[in-house]
Chain A
Amino acid sequence: MVWVGLDAEVYDRQYKDRRLIKRIFSYFSPYKKYMGIVILFLTISSLTTAFVPLITSIAITNLQFNADPTYFLFLILLILVLNVLSFLFNYYRQKNAAKALGYVVLDLRKDATNSILNHDLSFFDKNPTGKIVSRINTDSREFGQMVELTIEVISSVFVMLILIFLLLTINSFLTFLMLIAIPIFFIVALSYRKLARKMTLLGQRALASVNAFAKESFSGIQIAKTFGQEQKLYDQFNMVNIQSYKVNLKRAFTLNAIFPTLGIVQGIVLAILVYYGGNFLIFNSINAGDFNMFLQSLNLLFFPLLTIASFWPQFQAGLSAAERIFSIIDTPPVVVQRNNLIPEKLKGEIEFKNLIFQYEEGKKVFDNFSLKIKPGESLAIVGHTGAGKSSLANLIARFYEFQGGDIVVDGISIRDYDLTEYRRQIGIIPQIPFLWADTVENNINYGCSSAKCEDVISALDKAGGSEWTNSLPNGLNTNVGERGSLLSMGQRQLVAFARVLLEDPSILILDEATASVDPFTETRIQDALEITMEGRTSIVIAHRLWTVRHVDRIIVLENGKIIEEGNHAELMSQKGYYATLYNTYFRHQSLQYIEEMGKT
C-alpha cells in the first residue's frame, strides 16, 4: 500500500539514514534484554528451519543405499526435535518482540506528546490538530508494524542465506542458476511499484471525491429534503461512485497482476532446475534427496523475496513515520523562560515596552508598541480584524514569543517568571470557549487545584446565575459533548466565566464572542462580566456595545498602533476613528437602530 496526503510539514527535517537508525536503536536500548532474546532466538530458529529440509534430503538420499531402520529413526527424531525447537524459539522470539515493541511505541508516544504539549501556540497555528494526532498515534503504530515486518523479513532472509550456503556446498552450479532469478525478480517488482503507486493515488482520489460528495449531501440533507432534491443528489452520487469503481478496478487489476508475473519467473526457474538438475541426476553427479532439496528450496527462497518486494513501500512508510515522530520530538519549543521567579499574588500592572512582535518573518504585528495598564484597570481593545487585538492578549498569556522590547508585569519581565505559576494568575476566556467532553462541573473546576474548587454552584451563581443548568438533562452532571456542543455559545461563555472565577486570577483576558447570543443569555453574560472584572486587571477584546460603554479605558488599535484612547464618551466626542467604528459596528446593537428598523 502506498500512503498519500502526508506532505512535508514545517517541522519536518531530513534525518541522515545513519542518524535515523541510531535514533531508532536508542529507543530500543532500554529493552536490550528483550531484543537480545529476539536476536538470539531468531538466529537459532532460522538455523533449525533451514536444517529440516537438509536432514530430509539426507534421509531420502540414504534410502538408495542404506536400509538400517535405526539410522532413519535417528534422522526422524532429529527432524522432530528441530521442529519443536523451532516452534518454541519462534514463540519466545515473537513474545519478546511484542514486549519490546509495545514499550518502544509507548515511549515514542510519550515523548512526542510531551514535546507537543510544551510547544507554544505558534506551533499549533501552523500544524492542524488532526495531523499532529495522526503523527503521534498512527505513525508510531506504523513504525511498530514496520519493525515487526523487518523482524519477519530478517528471519526469512536468514533462512534463505543459510539455505544458499547449504545448497552451495551441494552443487554450486545449480545454486547459481537459482540465484540468477533474484535480480530478475527485483527488476520486475521495482518496475511495478511505480505503476502501482500512480494507480493507488488515482484510486484514493476517486474515493476521496465519493467521500466529499457524500459528506456534502448528508450535511445538506435537510435542505435537500425540504426542496425535494433527492434525485439530483442521487444522480450525482451515482456518477462519482461509478467513477471510483472504474478507477479502483483498474488499480486492483494492476496491483494483482504482479503476483502471477512473478509466478511465471518462478515457473521458468523451476523448469531450468529440472532440466539441469535432472541431467546431473541421470549422470549420478547429484543424488535424489539433494535434487529434491533444490526443488523444495525454491519456495523458501522466493518467499522472502516476495515479502520484501510487496512490503517495500510499507517498510519505507514505516521509516518515514519514524522520521516524522522524531522530528516532532526534536523540535524545540519557542517560548523559553530565562528564570523561574514564582510570583506572589500579582497586582496586575502590565507594561508593554517598545514591543516588537511578528507571527511570520517580515510581517510585523507590533513595531515599537508601548502601553501601560494600571492594576485593577478595565481596558477594552477595539479595532478591525488584523489590528493586533488578539495578539496583545496572547502575548500577555505568553502563548507566543516576542522578538523585541519587553512585557513587564508587576515590574518583572514575563520571561523571568515561572511559566506555570505565572499562567495560574491569568484567566482567559477565548472567543469560542473550549469545553471538554466532560460534565459541566468538571469543566468549571478544570484548572483549579484548591479546596475552593468545590464551589462550582456559587461560581456559576456569580457568573449570571446557575439555574439554567437545571434545564440540562442531568444538571451539573450533564456531559456537554465534544467541545461543549450540547451548550449554546452563550452558555459556553457562562461556563468559561465560572471557570475563571474559580481560578480567581489577577489578570483577566476576555475575547468577546462575535456570534450573536440569545438575548436572555446575553443579559446574564453582562452580569457575569461585571462581577468577573471587579478587582482585577481586565483586558477585553470588545465586540459588545455594553462592554465598551462600561470599561475604564478604550484603546483603538490599527495596524499594531494605538490611534485613539479614552472612555466611550470622550472618544465619541472626538468624532474620530472610534466614532466611525461605533457607527458601523456597534450601532446595530443600539436602541435607536432597533426602533428605526422596526418602523421602515
Chain B
Amino acid sequence: MAKKSDTLLETQLSEFSPGKDPFEKSRRKGVSSWILSHIFYRSNKAFILIILFTTILASILASIISVIIGLAIEEFLNANLSSLIIFTIIILTLGLITPIFRLINFMQRELLAQRLERDTRKEFYTNLLGKSQSFHDKQKIGDLMARVTDDVRMLNFLMSPAISLILESFTSLIIPLFFIIFLYPLELVLEPIIFTFLFLITLRSYNRKLSPVTGKLRMNFGMINATLNEALSGIEVVKGSTKELYELNKYLNYAEKYRDAYIEQGKIQAKYLPILYLALIITIGFTHSLILYLNGMISIGQIISYLALLGLLRFPTFISIFVFAIIKLAGSSAQRLLELMNQSTEINENPEGIKKDLEGSIVFDQVSFKYPGSDKYVLKNISFEVRPGQTVAIVGTTGSGKTTLTKLISRLYDVSEGKILVDNIDIRDYSLKSLRDQISYIEQDVFLFSFSLFDNITFGRTSVLEEVINAANQAQAHEFISDLAKGYESEIGERGVQLSGGERQRIAIARAFLSNPRLLILDDSTSAIDSNTEDKIQYAIKNILKNRTTFLITHRLSQIRWANLIIVLKNGEISAKGTHEELLKTSGEYRKIFVKKFDLNEERLIKGEI
C-alpha cells in the first residue's frame, strides 16, 4: 500500500523512481542500447552465459556428428565389424545429448525473453504512471494499450527466437570452419568463407529491397482496416445516403494497393539469392573435395563429412529471412515505447513549497494558456475573482476552454502567462501534493476503477463504513448502493455491477464528500437526461456545493441559475460574466437561450418581469 509521504508523487514508485531508474540513461541513448541494457541487466547475465555456452556446444556437437559419420563410413568400408557397435553407441549418445543441450538452451532463452517482456512492461507502465496529465491528454487509450501489450511482446520475440537464432546462425557459420581447418587440407575452408562473405552482402541488399515493400503492406493493411471499420460504424449513414458503392470502392482502393504490395513482396522473396549461392558452393566444395580425393589427399569418409559440414550452412541461410523480419518489427516496437518514455514531465511539483489549509478564495489574473509546443492560445486573458465558498458556473460551447480552465487550478497544466492565486498565493508556490489534496475533481464521464464501491468512495483514504455511508447518503447514493446484492462491497466493472451515468456521478460526489475538499471542480457537462434520478442528482450537487469554493462546468440551466458567478467562455475568452440577472441584461447571447427555449418575451425578460 501507499506510504504517505511528502515527497513527489512519482518518487514513491519503487525501483523506477527518478535517479534510481537503472534504464534512464540507456533509454536516452536509443533503441539498441536500451534493449542491450535490459538483456544484460543484473541476474540476466547468468542466463546469457548459459545460452551462449549451449548454443556453441550444440553447434560443436552437430559438427562432430558430421565428422563421426564420415569416420564411421571409412571404418565400415574397411569392413571393421567391431567398430559398428562403437559408432552406433557414439552416434546414439550424440543424438540424445544434443537435444538435451538444445532443451536447456530453449529454456534459458525463454526465461530471458519472458523476463524481458515482464521488466520492460513494468518499466513502461511505471514510467507512464509518472507522466503529467498534459501527456496523458494527448494519448489515445487504444494506442497505449497496443504499446503495453503488443509492442512489449515484440521484445519477447526479439529475444526468443530472433536473437537466439542469430546466435545459432553465427555459430553454425563459424564452428564448421574450425572443424574444416583442423581436419582437412586448409584450401577446403575457402568455400564456406566465400559463402559467408556472399551471404552477408546479399542479405544486406535483400533487406534493403524488402523493407519498403513490407512497410507498404503494413500501411495498407492498416488502411483497409480503418476504412472498413469506419464504413461499418456509420452503416446507417451509408445506407441512409445510399453510398454503399462509394464505400466499397474506397475500401477496394486500399485493398488493391495491398494486393500490389503483396505481389511485389512475393517477387522479392522468390529472388532470395543465398539459397542459390549455397547450392553452388556445396557443388563447388564437392568438386574440390573430389579433386583432392583423386589426388589422394583425403578419404571418401572425409568427403562425406565435408559435405555434411557444408550442409550445416543451410540453417543460417534459411532462417535469416525470418529472423530479420522479427528484428525489424521489434526495433520499431522498441522505438514506439521509447518515444513515449523519453518525453519529459512538464510540471514542477515543488515538494518544498507551501503547505497550508486553504480558505478557498481564487483569483485568475490575466491568465493565458497554450499547450506546450503549440502556438494557439486555448485561453486568453482570463481574469476573475471568487470569494471562499462561492459557486462559479462556467458555460460555453465545446472547445471554448471550459475544461482547460479548471485543469489549470489543480495544476494538471501550468499557465503560460499570468497567474492564478489561491488565498492570494500563486498556486505554483504551493507543494503540488498539498494543493491537490485539498482539491476534488468530479469529471464529465465519471471513471470508476474495478475495485469495490467502498474502495472507490474511500479511494486511498482510511475510513470506516459509517463515514462512507454518511457520505453516500449526502450524495443521494446510499439508497441504490444498499439495493445491490453485495452493497458497498460490490465490485465495479465487467465482472461486477454496471452503474448508470447518474449513479457513477453520485459515487464521485460521495467520494468528494468524504475527502471534503476546500475546492471542488465539478464537470457536469455531458451527463445525459436521466429523468428518474434528475432530482436526486440536483440535490446531491446542491449539497456538495455548500461550504466550499466550487467550479461548475454545466449545461443545466438550473445550475447556471443558482451560481454566484457565471462565466461565459467563447473561443478561450470571457465573453460575459456576472450573475444570472446581470447577464440577462448585458448578454444577448445568454438572453437568447431563455427566450428561445421557453418561448419568452425578450423585452419583458430584460426588464426582469419574468
Query: Are the C-beta atoms of A245 and B118 separated by less than 8 Å?
Result: yes
The answer, yes or no, to whether A569 is at the interface (CB within 8 Å) is no
A588 in the interface (beta carbon within 8 A)? yes
B459 x A234 contact (CB < 8 A): no
Stretch from A81-89, A187-195, A552-560 at the B interface: A81-89
Decide if B496 is an interface residue (CB 8 Å cutoff): no
Name the CB-closest residue of A to B224. A137
B275–chain A nearest beta-carbon distance, Å = 6
**A207 and B248 contact, Cβ closer than 8 Å, known pairs A136-B228, A295-B69:** no
Residues facing B in A543-566 (CB within 8 A) are 543, 545-546, 549
How far apart sit A269 and B379, CA to CA, in the bound complex (Å)? 79
- The residue of chain B having its C-beta at the shortest distance from the C-beta of A261 within the complex is B99
Whether A94 pairs with B229 at a CB distance below 8 angstroms is no
Instruction: Name the segment of A248-256, A322-330, A533-541 touching the other chain.
Output: A248-256
Task: Establish whether residues B149 and A274, one from each chain, have CB atoms under 8 Å apart when the complex forms.
Answer: no
- Distance to closest chain B CB from A52 (angstroms): 8
Counting chain A CB atoms within 10 Å of each CB, the highest count among B76, B98, B525 belongs to B76
B454 at interface, CB cutoff 8 A: no
B121–A241 contact, CB under 8 A? yes
Q: How far is the CA of A488 from the CA of B555 in the complex (A)?
A: 12
Question: A505 — nearest CB in chain B belongs to which residue?
Answer: B240
Chain B residue, CB-CB nearest to A103: B259
Is the beta-carbon distance between A234 and B447 smaller than 8 angstroms? no
Q: Compute how far the CA of A594 lies from the CA of B88 in the bound complex, rounded to whole angstroms.
A: 97
**A contacts with B, residue count (CB < 8 A):** 166
- Residues of chain B contacted by A214 (CB below 8 angstroms): 125, 144-145, 148-149
List CB contacts (< 8 Å) of B210-255 with chain A: 221, 224-225, 228-244, 247-248, 251-252, 255
Complex alpha-carbon distance, A210 and B114, angstroms:
14
The answer on a CB contact under 8 Å between A584 and B532 is yes
Interface size on B, residues (CB 8 A): 163
Give the residue name and chain of the B residue nearest to A231 (CB). B2
Task: Specify which chain B residues have a CB less than 8 angstroms from the CB of A308 in the assembled complex.
Answer: none
- The reply to whether B525 and A423 contact each other, CB–CB distance below 8 Å, is no
For A369, what are the chain B residues with a Cβ–Cβ distance below 8 Å? none
Instruction: Tell me if B1 is interfacial: C-beta within 8 Å of chain A.
Output: yes
On chain A, the residues within 8 Å of B106 by CB distance are: 253, 256-257, 259-260
Contact A292–B84 (Cβ < 8 Å):
no
B-side contacts of A95, CB under 8 Å: 266-267, 270
Interface status of A468 (Cβ within 8 A of chain B): yes
Q: Mark B1-42, 1 if CB is under 8 A from A, else 0.
A: 111000001101110000000000000000000000000000
CB distance from B460 to the nearest CB of A (A): 5
Contact between A436 and B230, CB atoms less than 8 A apart: yes
The binding surface of chain B is classed by DSSP as helix
- A106 and B259 contact, Cβ closer than 8 Å, known pairs A226-B410, A231-B2, A491-B397: yes
A218-B293 CB under 8 A given contacts A133-B232, A238-B122, A516-B555: no
Q: Report yes or no: B433 in contact with A278, Cβ–Cβ below 8 A.
A: no
Q: A263-B98, A424-B242 are in contact. Are A234 and B126 (CB under 8 A)?
A: yes
**Nearest A residue to B287, CB-CB:** A76
Give bound CA distance, A36 to B208, whole Å. 32
Q: For the complex, what is the distance from the CA of A468 to the CA of B252, rounded to whole Å?
A: 36
Query: B residues within 8 A CB of A222?
Result: 133, 136, 412, 441, 443, 447
Instruction: Say whether A518 contacts B397, CB under 8 Å.
Output: yes
What's the least CB distance linking A342 to chain B, in Å? 13
The stretch of A8-16, A111-119, A346-354, A570-578 in contact with B is A111-119
Cross-chain contact of A98 among B265, B303, B447 (Cβ < 8 A): B265
Q: A215-B141, A241-B118, A490-B397 are in contact. Are A124 and B232 (CB under 8 A)?
A: yes
Known: A102-B260, A253-B110, A281-B76. A503 touches B88 (CB 8 A): no
Contact of A252 among B160, B232, B399 (CB under 8 A): B160
Say whether B558 contacts A594, CB under 8 Å: yes
B143 to chain A: closest residue by CB: A218
Contact bitstring A120-142, B, C-beta under 8 A = 1, else 0: 01001000011011001100010
Q: In whole angstroms, how far apart are the Cα atoms of A428 and B308 in the complex?
A: 74
Chain A residues within 8 Å of B365, by CB:
none
1/0 per position for B254-296, CB-CB distance to A under 8 A?
0110111011011101110001100110010011001001100
Chain A 205-225, CB-CB to B under 8 Å as 1, else 0, gives 001001110111111111111
Residue pair A274, B117 in contact (C-beta under 8 Å):
no
B433 to A, closest residue via Cβ: A228
Contact digits for A438-482, partner B, Cβ 8 Å, 1 yes 0 no: 000000001110000000000000000000100111000000001
A498 within 8 A of B: no
Separation in Å of the B481 CB from the closest CB of chain A?
19
- A61 to B56 CA separation, bound complex (whole angstroms): 34
Bound state CA distance, A148 and B131, in angstroms?
45
| Given A220-B449, A232-B2, A292-B304, residue A129 in contact with residue B232 (CB < 8 A) | yes
Considering only residues 383-402 of chain A, those with a C-beta below 8 Å from chain B are 397, 399
Chain A positions within 8 Å of B14 at CB level: 234
Instruction: Say whether A233 contacts B240, CB under 8 Å.
Output: no
Is B500's beta carbon under 8 Å from chain A? no
CA distance A448 to B593 in the complex (A): 32
Question: What residues of chain A lie closer than 8 Å to B534, measured between beta carbons?
Answer: 588
Q: Which residues of B contact A216 (CB under 8 A)?
A: 449-450, 493
User: What's the Cα separation between A264 and B98 when bound, in Å?
Assistant: 8
A211 and B149 within 8 A (CB): yes
Across the interface, do A518 and B443 meet the contact criterion of CB distance under 8 Å?
no
Contact A87 B275 (CB under 8 A): yes
- CB-CB nearest in chain A for B229: A133
A252 to B103, CA, bound (A): 12
**Distance in angstroms between the alpha carbons of A113 and B247 in the assembled complex:** 9
Q: Are the CB atoms of B460 and A227 closer together than 8 Å?
A: yes
Q: Is B92 an interface residue (CB 8 A)?
A: yes
A420 at the interface (CB under 8 A from B): yes
Contact status B266-A76, CB under 8 Å: no
Q: A282-B76, A516-B555 are in contact. Are A234 and B129 (CB under 8 A)?
A: yes
A545 to B243, CA, bound (A): 34
- List the A side residues contacting B91 at CB < 8 Å: 267, 270-271, 274
Q: Closest approach, in angstroms, between the C-beta of B442 and any C-beta of chain A? A: 9
Q: If A225-B9, A241-B122, A288-B73 touch, does A249 touch B231 (CB 8 Å cutoff)?
A: no
Write out, one digit per residue, whether chain A residues 486-497 have a CB within 8 A of any chain B CB (1) or not (0).
011111000000
Interface contact A83-B236, CB-CB below 8 Å: no
Residue from the list A218, A490, A503 in contact with B398, Cβ < 8 A:
A490
Q: Is the CB of B265 within 8 A of A218?
A: no
**Once the chains are docked, how many angstroms separate the CA of A428 from the CA of B237?**
8
Q: Is A97 an interface residue (CB 8 A)?
A: yes
Min CB gap B145→A, angstroms? 5
- Collect the chain A residues with CB atoms within 8 Å of residue B561's CB: 594-595, 597-598
- Known pairs A229-B2, A271-B95; A516 contacts B526 (CB<8 A): yes
Complex: how many Å from CA A210 to CA B237? 37
Q: Residue-by-residue, is B116-154 near A (CB-CB < 8 Å gives 1, otherwise 0)?
A: 011001100110111001001001010011001100010
Tell me the complex Cα distance, A296–B312, Å.
11
A600 located at the interface, meaning its Cβ lies under 8 Å from any Cβ of chain B in the complex = yes
B456 to chain A, nearest CB (A): 10
CB contacts (< 8 Å) of A408 on chain B: these are none
- The verdict on A63 contacting B525 (CB below 8 Å), with A124-B235, A292-B73 known, is no
Interface centre among A136, A526, A584, A598 (most CB of B within 10 A): A598
Task: Give chain B nearest CB distance to A206 CB in angstroms.
Answer: 11
> Is A64's CB within 8 Å of the partner chain B?
yes
Shortest CB distance B298–A (Å): 11
Pull 23 A–B residue pairs with CB atoms less than 8 Å apart, ordered by A: A63-B303, A72-B294, A80-B280, A94-B266, A98-B266, A102-B263, A110-B248, A136-B228, A221-B133, A226-B412, A227-B459, A231-B3, A234-B126, A241-B118, A263-B99, A281-B76, A288-B300, A292-B73, A399-B236, A423-B239, A436-B230, A437-B230, A543-B529
Given contacts A63-B293, A83-B279, A523-B596, 12 further A-B contacts (CB under 8 A): A76-B287, A102-B260, A103-B259, A113-B228, A137-B225, A234-B14, A447-B241, A483-B234, A519-B395, A519-B555, A520-B395, A520-B593
Closest 5 CB pairs of A and B: A98-B266, A267-B95, A447-B241, A488-B398, A94-B270
